[in-house]
Amino acid sequence: MTLTHDHALTHRIIGLAMRVHTRLGPGLLETAYERCLCYEFQREGLPFRRQVDLPLTYDDLHLDRAYRADLIISDTVLLEVKSVATLLPLHEAQLLTYLRMSRCAVALLVNFNVLSLKDGLRRRTR
């Protein structure tokens, strides 16, 4: 996957997130936004997986379910959904850890509990 394709895909995902945010507004549970995003991805024909268990290997220890990604789109973009008053450095650190441990090229952190979704977006790459 090329950088241009990654950018086009994340642009498309962000556009769908903005559609969901515009229609629902802030203040709902993360699961509501996640389900509506899945609906939009399905309508747009974007392949995705929801609540994906991801493994961790630590020395000789292998954990099948070390963490769970909210959404993985097209096996390339990891998407974490939040609905919090403020994105904290811990949320971004968690996103970077998930990105590093996944096989995804790009990670998006989307906080829906904001007046303007652009204030709740973070994009990170490997």
Q: What is the pLDDT of residues 38-72, one digit of tens each?
A: 999 999 999 999 999 988 889 999 998 888 999 99
- In this prediction, residue 84 has a pLDDT band, given cuts at 50, 70 and 90, of very high
Residue 16: both structure tokens together: 């769908």
Chain centroid to CA 89 = 16
Judged against a pLDDT cut of 50, whether residue 1 lies above it is answered with no
Distances (CA, A) of 95 to 61, 66, 84: 23, 14, 15
Closest CA to 32 of 20, 44, 18, 19: 20
- Quote the pLDDT of residue 101: 87
- The domains located in the chain, with CATH, are 3-125 (3.40.1350)
Length of the chain: 126
Give 103-114 pLDDT, tens digit per residue.
899 999 999 999
Residue 85's pLDDT is 95
**Which residues is 62 bridged to in the sheet?**
57
Q: Are 26 and 113 in contact (CB under 8 A)?
A: yes
The mean per-residue pLDDT over the stretch 11-30 comes to: 97
Cβ–Cβ under 8 Å, residues 102 and 78: yes
With bands split at pLDDT 50, 70 and 90, how would you rate the model's confidence at 3?
Answer: low
Q: What is the pLDDT of residue 94?
A: 92
